[in-house]
Amino acid sequence: MKVKAILSILAILTIGGAAYFSYDHSLKFKDQQDLRLTDIKKNKETTHEAEITEKDLKDEQAALTKVLSTRDETKQSITVLKATEAKAKDDVAKLDAEIAKQKDELKQLANDLAEIQVILTGMGAGVTVEGAADFIDTIAKKVADLKKTVDENETLVASADKRLTENKAEETRLVGKTLTRNVAIAHNAMEAVITGVNQDWGFVVIGAGTSTGFTPQTALLVKRDGRLIGRVRPTAIEPNQTVADIDMESLAAGVRLQQGDRVILADPVTH
């Protein structure tokens, strides 16, 4: 009887122990499953952030391409304007020479007419009034024609001078516009190099500063091999060096910033 009772107690204890271990294993499995689901959620959020960052880079590159195209168009416009200005100057020089020549001819014809009028006053034998009158009319017509030509040429010169002035003004405006855009393009295309990294304190040192246009408000992206890998925020800026905090949440899982990584502007200059 005692042996049977002991065996019954042992059986009960065995069943209870099995039930306890089964319940404990079930709780541990649930905890592991919760951790796994949390990791999956974090990985999805990290992937989404990387996709957004990649889109920012593509938008920035598209904006830079557009600015470069606009700069090339402006340069072509300046080239055309310079060619037009050179032609206008040449036209003005030719017209000035033509006017001077015609003025000399007009002066000579006026002198001839004066001499003819003197001759007619004391007209001698063999000279008819009708013939002299016809000659004078011919000379007078030539003088009138020359005066008209001179007036027309002076109008053309005035018009050419006006075009030349307008071309110079437009050229000055376009050159100023080009210089402004060149500065903006250089700023947008700026790349700096990370020269030092402190992983323990979470900051990097960048080989560019206020001389490059950095300010405390400048948002910076970090890329490696042409791909964005994170963001940094300037905290201390010197003329040729910047200390920036690493935005840990922007880093993909397992990624650590290192020397040689490239830094670019997060927000390009607009025009």
Q: Three-class SS string for the chain?
A: CHHHHHHHHHHHHHHHHHHHHHHHHHHHHHHHHHHHHHHHHHHHHHHHHHHHHHHHHHHHHHHHHHHHHHHHHHHHHHHHHHHHHHHHHHHHHHHHHHHHHHHHHHHHHHHHHHHHHHHHHCCCCCCCHHHHHHHHHHHHHHHHHHHHHHHHHHHHHHHHHHHHHHHHHHHHHHHHHHHHHHHHHHHHCCEEEEEEEECCCCEEEECCCHHHCCCCCCCEEEEECCEEEEEEEEEEEECCEEEEEEEHHHCCCCCCCCCCCEEEECCCCCC
Contacts of residues 12-20 at CB distance under 8 Å and 24 or more positions apart, as own/partner, are none
For each of the domains in the chain, give its residue range(s) and CATH number, in order of start. Answer: 190-265 (2.40.10.340)
pLDDT of residue 185: 47
Beta bridge partners of 236: 243
CB atoms within 10 A of CB 98: 15
**Cα separation of 78 and 72, whole Å?**
10
75 contact partners, CB below 8 Å, separation of at least 6: 178
CB atoms within 10 A of CB 62: 11
Q: What's at 54, amino acid-wise? A: E
The tokens for 249 are 């949440």
pLDDT of residue 271: 47
pTM, full prediction: 0.35
CB atoms within 10 A of CB 244: 24
Mind listing the pLDDT tens digit of every residue in the chain (271 residues)? 555 666 666 666 566 555 555 555 566 666 777 777 787 777 777 666 666 677 777 777 777 777 777 777 777 777 777 777 777 777 778 878 888 887 888 788 777 777 766 665 665 545 455 566 666 677 777 778 878 888 888 888 887 778 878 777 777 776 665 555 554 444 555 789 999 999 999 999 999 888 877 888 888 999 999 899 999 999 999 999 999 999 999 888 888 999 999 998 887 654 4
**Cα separation of 14 and 11, whole Å?**
5
Q: Is residue 230 within 8 Å of residue 257, measured between CB atoms? A: yes
